[in-house]
A and B are shown apart, each in its own frame.
Chain A
């Protein structure tokens, strides 16, 4: 079990350094619309919103993957729940963003509670595969949902409304709403990790037997974390649907779950900031390489392998070593 997670959150000092790094990333995001305005390139905001959505999903996954050693290979299902919450409620004339998020979170909480309770009977690779199984079941359910286009998905007539106003139709507002959600959820996640709950969760990762010995049930803590993570991911789905103005089961395929894991591991697991950074780097790199060559996957693959071989703790690990070297 512990083989999965070798980079633990080591010292509290570093934790605060990572929060500073996260704030730096948020500041960079906040300045993006300025850059977009100066360069007369409003499209940047759309890319930015997409990256923000994936950053939320990756951070949510890191909460259980990094802190609880629960490698969920079915997390894209929650992206889908969020996206379909928007599509389904919209088709019934309910367009408010907050209601969409609430519905997405409820849906995800129920699904995560049921599948999590079953999945947590297993460990390690078995856990990976059983979460994949549930993710695939959700995927095929939406594929067969003809009312919402089945496999083809369905375009949204309009974006969600904010307090009865169609403010999100502006890409700028959409972007800042997504950024606000990321920052809020980051704050929540940081609080969770630093709380007693978080410490018990880390304890279950390091040594579940000891946790039981001191009278704590690892299962309850792990399941709660699993549900929280699923709910957070669904918020990303709500953003993604609004950004693309389109919803399809493609959001929930296992490829997407795999990409989320890649983002988290690439960034460095178990520190939340890494997952956000991983999402940013992975998506920007993909965009950039795709512009250079049709065969960008080759280069991306080489990059991933080199990262693993030469930077064991992902991007955050590399940054820390840089910092250490300078001292």
Chain B
């Protein structure tokens, strides 16, 4: 049981860092630019499709990853320029409508370009295989690498946000946009930068999960809602909140699915426990969010807004 628990914690951490990579960009775009971007999930999908293409072209996962990064930046900048920029001054609902349209366009476009069948990205040789943990339990090296990469990015973001001039502007922008532009900062450039950075992180997340997940047109949608849950739990605009929110959501989800039925079995009959467990498992994340927002309506690290 303890072995299983440790494994599940690792799994939770892996899902958590992944969610963090996506949520970090979303929360920044949200907090600094005040833009609700429903298309953030499709960026994650684009990352996966880009690496699938580049890895197939070059025959190497690493070359694919290297090529994917600049391509992702370009995608982010183009989307910002064409769709997001005209939406800055608009209501959130207009943004929802326009980015919903963008989701439809990108999903259909991806289908036209790459077809409907799921794509495959080979596992890099270097990270293939599993390492033994305790007893008969093994853990895939690649998943450990995902955790490491995610933590590295989180640390990098922490340094950038807290110890650089850009980071200072980002923090200032998140709490008071007018003030930043009054200080003579080119707010347009800052916004482009933030959006491109968010796009890059989401694409990176999509790229590094591509070897373990099916690359298909549905992948952006499934992750979008979960990412919004993370952002809202953490508090809009807070990178720290996104990090803790992501880990919390992931751990509750993975542990709940495994240990929920076991816990239920101790308080009710096995059949009823199974039934209830199956019903509750997919709800867990939403129950968590509802409880947190009930206690803290602005999320864990959000600032109270009017």
Whether the Cβ atoms of B92 and A130 lie closer than 8 Å is: no
The listed residue (B225, B283, B293) touching A137 by CB distance below 8 A is: B283
Q: How far is the CB of A122 from chain B (nearest CB, A)?
A: 4
Q: Say if the beta carbon of A174 comes within 8 Å of chain B.
A: no
Tell me the nearest residue of chain B to A308, going by C-beta. B98
Judge if A213 is at the interface, Cβ distance under 8 Å. no
In Å, the complex CA distance between A118 and B27 comes to: 24
Cβ contacts under 8 Å, A121 to chain B: 293-294, 297
| Mask: chain B, 273-298; 1 = CB below 8 Å from A; 0 = not | 00100110011001101100110011
In the complex, are the beta carbons of B278 and A265 less than 8 A apart?
no
Segment among A31-39, A154-162, A219-227, A294-302 that sits at the interface with chain B? A294-302
Which one of A3-11, A83-91, A182-190 contacts B? A3-11
Which residue in A71, A301, A302 is a CB contact (below 8 Å) of B93?
Answer: A71
Interface residues of A in 135-184 (CB under 8 A from B): 136-137, 140-141, 143-144
Contact B105 A298 (CB under 8 A): yes
Say whether B228 faces chain A, with CB atoms less than 8 Å apart.
yes
> CA A5 – CA B91 in complex, angstroms?
6
B306 to chain A, nearest CB (A): 7
Contact of B279 with A125 in the complex, beta carbons under 8 Å: no
Complex interface: chain A residues within 8 A of B87 (CB): 308
A297-B289 CB under 8 A given contacts A4-B93, A308-B101: no
* Residues from 41 to 93 in B contacting A, C-beta threshold 8 Å: 83, 86-87, 90-93
Q: Is the interface of B mostly helix, strand, loop or mixed?
A: helix
Task: Count chain A residues whose beta carbon lies closer than 8 angstroms to a beta carbon of B.
Answer: 45
A7 closest partner in B (C-beta): B91
The stretch of A231-239, A254-262, A318-326 in contact with B is A254-262
Taking chain A's interface residues, is the majority helix, strand, or loop, or is none over half, making it mixed? Answer: helix
Q: Given the known inter-chain contacts A136-B283, A261-B96, please indicate yes or no for A126 contacting B83, CB distance below 8 A.
A: no
**Closest chain B residue to A66, Cβ basis:** B93
Residues of B within 8 A of A134 (CB): 286, 290
B117 at the interface (CB under 8 A from A): no
Q: How far is the CA of A137 from the CA of B306 in the complex (A)?
A: 29
Also in contact, A301 and B287, with CB within 8 A (given A5-B93, A129-B229, A265-B96): no
A301 close to B103 (CB less than 8 A): yes
A305-B293 contact given A126-B299, A297-B108, CB 8 Å threshold: no
Contact A304 B297 (CB under 8 A): no
B209 in contact (CB, < 8 A)? no
A272 within 8 A of B: no
* Complex Cα spacing A252 to B292, Å: 24
Residue of B nearest to A134 (CB): B290
The answer to whether A298 and B306 have CB atoms under 8 Å apart is no
Contact residues of B between 183 and 229, Cβ < 8 Å to A: 225, 228-229
Interchain CB contact under 8 A, B91 and A136: no
In the complex, the answer to whether A295 meets B232 with C-beta atoms within 8 Å is: no
Cα distance, A81 to B92, chains bound together (Å): 28
Indicate if the CB atoms of A298 and B279 lie closer than 8 Å: no
Q: Residue A303 at the B interface, CB < 8 A?
A: yes
Using Cβ atoms and an 8 Å threshold, which residues of chain A touch B93?
4-5, 65, 71, 261, 265, 269
Indicate if A307 sits at the interface (CB-CB under 8 A).
yes
List 11 A–B pairs whose Cβ atoms lie within 8 Å, in order of A's numbering. A129-B289, A132-B225, A136-B282, A261-B96, A265-B93, A265-B96, A295-B112, A297-B107, A300-B104, A304-B101, A312-B90
8 interchain residue pairs of minimum CB distance: A304-B101, A301-B104, A301-B105, A133-B286, A144-B279, A301-B101, A308-B98, A298-B108
